[in-house]
């Protein structure tokens, strides 16, 4: 499958006539720069994008386009629909983000505060009460056992991206991968279906200033966030700090597991996560 990662964004640069510029950047998943072009703000529309994508593709259009920037999603969706290309909104566009950072470094002193990956994020929203599980706790599993434990199980919803598998990240099989387990009871399937729609990316501990309380924030979609849990118990806060420290050892890899009870016999949903 031919997959392109595309960004189309306002570029903080003025041409000789002091007109605002927009930039199109296309990479493949292997990190190769496929195409780049700039246009004036007045030209920044779906028709211009269609023309550029066709020019970049030459004979064969991509099967899918991946987009991480919310502001680019609308125009690129319109262009992709007219060209018959599937589009996916996802934060997991590592090749494209690496190229954006590489180009930003080249601008150096000309654009000292330029960060092409900076996105405005809304404040995290409280998790709907009907999606609270019966309880939750921290958990862990050895990296070498992760794929074997969850990869072949009949789990209704599972997100195990190949790019995040420990072997592909170069993570030792003995490294511990931390995670969160939700015991959903009768609401397990309801919780999993909602999570599937939200597209979980990461689950992070946010401490308070005193460090004796805090909460867990679930990063989903492109920029959205949900308050997964809050706590004021020092023991829970300590466990949360250990959870974050374990993530550092596992290159940020962690997981979210939903199961009806603590029997360990049935799993309802599993997501392998890593912050982007």
Kindly report, residue by residue over 197-239, the tens digit of the pLDDT. 999 999 999 987 666 778 999 999 999 999 999 888 888 989 9
**Between the CA atoms of 229, 232, 237 and 238, what dihedral angle is there, to the nearest 10 degrees?**
-150
75 within 8 A of 10, measured Cβ to Cβ = no
67's enclosing H/E stretch is strand 64-67
Query: E strands of 92-243, at which residues?
Result: 125-126, 135-142, 157-159, 176-183, 200-207, 214-220, 224-231
- Residue 107: what pLDDT? 77
Hey, what are 83's tokens?
A: 């060209």
CB 26 within 8 A of CB 5: yes
**106: its two tokens:** 């080249």
User: Considering only CA atoms, which of 121, 252, 238, 131 is closest in space to residue 184?
Assistant: 131
Mean pLDDT of 180-203: 94
Element (H, E) at 211: none
Instruction: Return mean pLDDT, the chain.
Output: 91
Residue 108 has pLDDT above 80, yes or no: no
What is the band of 128 on the pLDDT scale with cuts at 50, 70, 90? confident
- Distance between alpha carbon 71 and the CA centroid of its chain, in Å? 16
Say yes or no to pLDDT of 75 above 90. Answer: yes
What is the predicted pLDDT for the residue at 213?
77
Look at residue 17 in the predicted model and tell me its pLDDT.
63
Q: Which structural domains are found in the chain, ordered by start? A: 3-110 (3.30.420.10), 125-273 (no CATH)
Q: Which one is predicted more confidently, 150 or 53? A: 53
pLDDT tens profile 241-272: 999 999 999 999 999 999 998 777 789 999 99
pLDDT category at 174 given cuts 50, 70, 90 is very high
pLDDT range class, residue 5, cuts 50, 70, 90: very high
| pLDDT tier at 59, thresholds 50, 70, 90 | confident
Tell me how far CA of residue 78 lies from CA of 96, 147, 261, in angstroms. Answer: 20, 37, 44
pLDDT-derived band at 18 (thresholds 50, 70, 90) equals low
pLDDT, tens digit, for every residue of 77-98? 999 999 999 999 999 999 999 9
How far apart are the C-alpha atoms of 220 and 16, rounded to whole Å? 40
| C-alpha to C-alpha distance for 202 and 216, rounded to whole angstroms | 10
Question: 166: which 2 tokens?
Answer: 């420990």
Complete edge-to-edge strand list for the sheet that includes strand 200-207? 125-126, 224-231, 214-220, 200-207
DSSP secondary-structure letter at 204? Answer: E
């Amino acid at each position: 499958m031919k997959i392109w990662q595309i960004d189309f964004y306002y570029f903080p640069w003025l041409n000789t006539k002091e007109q605002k510029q927009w930039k199109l950047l296309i990479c493949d998943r292997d990190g190769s720069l496929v195409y780049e072009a700039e246009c004036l703000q007045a030209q920044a529309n779906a028709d211009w994008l269609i023309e550029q994508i066709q020019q970049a593709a030459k004979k064969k259009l991509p099967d899918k386009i991946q987009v991480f920037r919310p502001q680019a999603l609308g125009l690129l969706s319109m262009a992709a629909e007219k060209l018959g290309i599937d589009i996916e909104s996802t934060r997991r566009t590592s090749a494209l983000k690496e190229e954006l950072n590489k180009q930003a470094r080249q601008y150096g002193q000309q654009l000292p505060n330029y960060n092409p990956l900076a996105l405005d994020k809304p404040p995290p929203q409280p998790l709907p009460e009907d999606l609270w599980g019966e309880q939750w706790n921290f958990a862990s599993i050895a990296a070498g056992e992760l794929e074997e434990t969850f990869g072949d199980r009949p789990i209704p919803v599972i997100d195990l991206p190949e790019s995040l598998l420990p072997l592909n990240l170069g993570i030792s099989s003995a490294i511990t991968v931390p995670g969160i387990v939700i015991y959903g009871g009768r609401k397990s399937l309801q919780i999993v279906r909602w999570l599937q729609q939200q597209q979980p990316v990461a689950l992070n501990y946010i401490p308070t200033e005193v460090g004796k309380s805090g909460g867990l924030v679930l990063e989903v979609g492109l920029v959205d966030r949900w308050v997964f849990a809050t706590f004021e118990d020092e023991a829970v806060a300590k466990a949360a700090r250990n959870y974050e420290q374990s993530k550092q050892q596992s290159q940020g890899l962690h997981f979210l597991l939903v199961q009806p009870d603590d029997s360990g016999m049935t799993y309802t949903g599993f997501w392998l996560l890593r912050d982007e």
